[in-house]
């Protein structure tokens, strides 16, 4: 700091001038009187008093000067709301699934708005979501999207592959273009060449199917039966599973599709496939009906394994079967664990957060953050991947809008590809599962939100955890590339 403190420039100048002039004057007197010691001494005493007086004036001026007022940034002008869209099942048997996806979006929007919203230029915007029920019916998904897009929504979420395919037919056309936030693990939506798609969960074809099938094939269990659902996702899962299983030397001994959204008794279907003597049964559908299928099969004497497609969660199935399990200590607390013996599938994020293996999983900070932040808003509903991944994707979309400085969907896609990642730390999330937006060659689809996956297995009462699963291509006609065409996975 200047020896003249925080006084104004004019006050500093005045005090400094007095100080310099009087000091020079005193010094000249002392030189002139150096021959007369007594007189010189008197003058020196007077000079010292003068210096003290000068300093007193300085301090009086300096201390009385008001401090400089801090500059305050200009407050941001409120720009209104930016709407995101959602079309998915909000009624019927699939309603809990659709509501979970929607709640993930809503929770992220709440947190973004509480933190000040989204800033574009010198304006601050709030986020909001327009949600419509499509009853899991793809034509209604498209009709909903048309209505939602009239509000200028840059992104519309849909949590089922049939609806996503319908949205991809219209999202790049007309005045109301929008990005499809695709909550499905089905690769069918990657083969359309659509350049405004965000695939949110891991692609089951190259992550879960090879991992789950290999677990049994390597044990010499070659005979598989299929009990898939009749919905689009389950059909695609069954098709890809059959191809992989037979490529690796396995045999499909029976296949019996079930409409898991209407059927409540599975005895006839299960009896039919058990007659073919399978060693493994692949099941694809929601957790609750799949728990019924497993219970029915065990009651009919089946002792083989189950491959549980990733729509369901193995811990949820255990809950519906009355099994209480301490995943942190790998102990059965209640129920019959043999019901899920030799079963492989996915699990919920809060299970991954407490497993002993969490200490070596780099994504544990993400799981813990979500499991501390979101469950309090859900009441008795357990946190699931629909909540978590849609929450995370909404955060990434917010960052992309800010980086793009626009709600233009094409600019948002460009920002998502080139300016958003790594996103760790954004909006307080310590670690993001998604690490890049990749393209799908040769289709030209943009794109895939790249992330690892995990599976768990119960085998002879032991819990086995498979972490850090990355894409395994096994004859696909496509690869994942970066924006320059360099192969990342394939």
Residue 320 sits in a domain whose CATH number is: 3.40.50.2300
Share of the chain above pLDDT 70, in %: 85
Angle between helices 9-32 and 37-64 (to 10 degrees): 180
Whether residues 84 and 190 share a domain: the answer is: yes
Whether residues 461 and 319 share a domain: the answer is: yes
Worst-scoring range by mean pLDDT, 44-48, 196-200, 453-457? 44-48
Average pLDDT of span 76-83 = 95
The Cβ of residue 70 has, within 10 Å, a number of other Cβ atoms equal to 5
Whether residues 442 and 390 share a domain: the answer is: yes
Whether residues 243 and 331 share a domain: the answer is: yes
Average pLDDT of span 220-226 = 98
In-domain check, residue 371? no
Evaluate if residue 54 carries a pLDDT over 50.
Answer: no
Whether residues 143 and 259 share a domain: the answer is: no
Whether residues 446 and 461 share a domain: the answer is: no
DSSP 3-state of 435: coil
CA proximity to 308, closest of 288, 326, 322: 288
Worst-scoring range by mean pLDDT, 34-48, 212-226, 327-341? 34-48
Whether residues 83 and 179 share a domain: the answer is: yes
Domain interval for residue 108? 78-203+381-451
In-domain check, residue 369? no
Evaluate if residue 35 carries a pLDDT over 60.
Answer: no
Q: List CB contacts of 444: < 8 A, sequence separation 6 or more.
A: 193, 195
In-domain check, residue 400? yes
DSSP 3-state of 450: strand
- CA-CA distance, 236 to 241, in Å (whole number)? 8
Whether residues 254 and 333 share a domain: the answer is: yes
pLDDT in tens, 103-138: 999 999 999 999 999 999 999 999 999 999 999 999
Whether residues 24 and 102 share a domain: the answer is: no
Distance from chain centroid for Cα 426 = 11
Number of structural domains the chain divides into: 3
**Residue-level pLDDT at 3:** 36
- Angle among Cα 476, 165, 179 to the nearest 5 degrees reads 100
- CA-CA distance, 1 to 98, in Å (whole number)? 62
DSSP annotation string for 269-308: HHHHHHTT--SEEEEES-HHHHHHHHHHHHHTT--SEEEE
In-domain check, residue 490? no
CA torsion 343-452-449-117 (nearest 10°) is 100
Evaluate if residue 487 carries a pLDDT over 60.
Answer: yes
In-domain check, residue 479? no
In-domain check, residue 489? no
Average pLDDT score over the chain: 89
**Residue-level pLDDT at 232:** 87
- Angle among Cα 101, 391, 171 to the nearest 5 degrees reads 65
Q: What are phi and psi of 93, to 5 degrees?
A: -65, -25
Evaluate if residue 253 carries a pLDDT over 90.
Answer: yes
Q: How many helices (H) and strands (E) does the chain have?
A: 14, 19
- CA-CA distance, 289 to 476, in Å (whole number)? 31
**Residue-level pLDDT at 42:** 54
Whether residues 157 and 290 share a domain: the answer is: no
Whether residues 99 and 214 share a domain: the answer is: no
In-domain check, residue 364? no
**Residue-level pLDDT at 154:** 98
In-domain check, residue 362? no
DSSP annotation string for 140-200: HHHHHHHHHHTTT-SEEEE-SHHHHHHHHTTTTSSSS--EEEE----GGGGSS--SSEEE-
Q: Which two tokens stand for residue 336?
A: 């019959």
pTM comes to 0.82
pLDDT band, residue 65 (cuts 50/70/90): very low
DSSP 3-state of 419: coil
pLDDT band, residue 307 (cuts 50/70/90): very high
- CA-CA distance, 408 to 394, in Å (whole number)? 16
pLDDT band, residue 437 (cuts 50/70/90): very high
Whether residues 241 and 341 share a domain: the answer is: yes
């Amino acid at each position: 700091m200047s020896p003249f403190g925080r006084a104004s420039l004019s006050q500093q100048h005045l005090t400094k001038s007095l100080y310099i002039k009087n000091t020079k004057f005193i010094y000249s007197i002392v030189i002139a009187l150096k021959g007369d010691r007594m007189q010189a001494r008197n003058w020196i005493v007077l000079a010292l008093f003068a210096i003290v007086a000068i300093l007193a004036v300085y301090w009086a001026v300096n201390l009385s000067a008001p401090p400089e007022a801090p500059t305050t940034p200009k407050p941001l002008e409120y720009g209104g709301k930016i709407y995101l869209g959602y079309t998915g099942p909000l009624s019927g048997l699939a309603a809990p699934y659709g509501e979970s996806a929607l709640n993930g979006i809503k929770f992220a929007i709440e947190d973004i708005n509480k933190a000040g919203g989204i800033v574009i230029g010198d304006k601050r915007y709030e986020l909001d979501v327009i949600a419509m029920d499509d009853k899991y019916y793809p034509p209604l998904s498209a009709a909903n999207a048309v209505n939602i897009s009239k509000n200028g929504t840059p992104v519309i979420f849909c949590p089922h592959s049939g609806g996503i395919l319908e949205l991809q037919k219209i999202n790049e056309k007309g005045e109301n273009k929008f990005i499809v936030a695709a909550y499905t693990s089905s690769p069918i939506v990657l083969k359309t060449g659509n350049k405004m798609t965000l695939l949110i969960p891991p692609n089951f074809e190259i992550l879960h199917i090879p991992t789950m099938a290999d677990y049994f094939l390597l044990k010499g269990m070659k005979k598989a039966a299929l009990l898939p659902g009749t919905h689009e996702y389950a059909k695609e899962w069954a098709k890809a599973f059959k191809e992989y299983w037979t490529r690796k030397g396995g045999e499909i001994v029976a296949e019996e599709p079930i409409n898991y959204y209407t059927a409540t008794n599975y005895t006839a279907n299960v009896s039919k496939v058990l007659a073919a003597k399978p060693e493994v049964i692949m099941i694809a559908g929601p957790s609750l009906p799949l728990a019924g299928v497993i219970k029915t099969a065990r009651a009919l004497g089946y002792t083989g394994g189950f491959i549980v497609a990733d729509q369901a969660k193995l811990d949820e199935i255990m809950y519906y079967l009355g099994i209480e399990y301490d995943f942190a200590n790998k102990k059965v607390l209640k129920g019959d664990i043999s019901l899920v013996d030799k079963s492989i599938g996915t699990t919920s994020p809060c299970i991954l957060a407490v497993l002993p293996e969490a200490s070596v999983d780099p994504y544990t900070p993400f799981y813990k953050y979500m499991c501390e932040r979101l469950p309090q808003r859900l009441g008795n509903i357990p946190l699931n991947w629909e909540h978590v991944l849609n929450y995370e994707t909404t955060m990434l979309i917010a960052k992309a809008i800010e980086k793009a400085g626009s709600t233009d969907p094409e600019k948002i896609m460009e920002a998502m590809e080139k300016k958003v990642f790594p996103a760790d730390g954004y909006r307080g999330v310590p670690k993001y599962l998604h690490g890049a937006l990749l393209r799908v060659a040769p289709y030209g689809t943009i794109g895939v939100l790249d992330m690892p996956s995990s599976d768990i297995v119960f085998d002879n009462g032991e819990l086995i955890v498979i972490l850090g699963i990355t894409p395994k291509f096994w004859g696909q006609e496509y690869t994942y590339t970066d924006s320059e065409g360099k192969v990342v996975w394939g």
